[in-house]
Amino acid sequence: MEMLTSRDTVTIDESVHYIYKELTDGADPVTVPFKTMKDVFLWAVTLGYRRGERRPISGKKLTVFRWAQFNSQTDIPVIKAISLTNGENIEVLLSQDEMLTIVEEYANAGIHDLRARIYDDNRQPLYSLINFFIK
């Protein structure tokens, strides 16, 4: 069966866009640990998933990147795994739209947690992220 691709945009709640910008705007990786909004998004997805919390986007949706920016070898398998373990039928893998909705909701739930883990520590942002990762 072929995957349905009704949309290819990845959206976030406009109210959290400042966090995405804060985590990606700058050239120094020690103070700005992410290069792309896609990277921030995937970290937020995994944190939301880890907490077991999905939060639908309730405000204005803002497109931050497109499906094509996901790496087919590393990013898309994570998206598919999270979509499947969400209790969805295996057919969810045939709908890009459904998978995007699932991960967008997890990202919406995890973005504030990501920001807190990076900035509510007495370390530089990159070192806070590394410290969180190795714990």
> Where along the chain do its domains lie?
9-128
Of how many residues is the chain composed?
Answer: 135
Average pLDDT, the chain: 93
Is the pLDDT confidence value at 57 over 60? yes
Is the pLDDT confidence value at 3 over 60? no
CB atoms within 10 A of CB 4: 12
Is the pLDDT confidence value at 47 over 90? yes
CB atoms within 10 A of CB 7: 14
The predicted model gives 112-117 an average pLDDT of 96
Share of the chain above pLDDT 90, in %: 84
CA 52 vs. chain centroid, Å, equals 14
What b-and-e string marks burial along 60-91, b requiring 16 or more CB atoms within 10 Å of the CB? eebebbebeebeeeebeebbeebbeebeeeee
The predicted model gives 116-122 an average pLDDT of 89
The predicted model gives 69-91 an average pLDDT of 92
